[in-house]
Amino acid sequence: MADPARRMQAMRARRRAAGMRELRIVVADTRSPEVRRQIAAEVARLDPASEEDALSWIEAVSEFDGDAPG
């Protein structure tokens, strides 16, 4: 059996041949107390009036009338 690095290399080659590519996303760990404090501080600085347009748009596009094929 091939070592783990060679198995990964072979798997990536198979995926590339299938038209796929690997994508890694690194996000903040919301379990971290420091990250949670930073998020809370950023939320506290938001101006509700300036966020109204974005919230209205999100609400408008998230409503479905049920007539869409499905």
pLDDT one digit per residue (tens) for the chain, 70 residues: 579 999 999 999 999 999 998 899 999 999 999 999 999 999 999 998 888 988 898 888 987 666 555 4
Per-residue confidence (pLDDT) for residue 27, from 0 to 100: 95
Per-residue confidence (pLDDT) for residue 63, from 0 to 100: 77
Per-residue confidence (pLDDT) for residue 10, from 0 to 100: 94
Measured CA to CA in angstroms, residue 48 lies from 4, 12, 19, 43, 52 at distances of: 51, 46, 44, 10, 6
Please check whether residue 22 is in contact with residue 12, taking contact to mean a CB–CB distance below 8 angstroms: yes
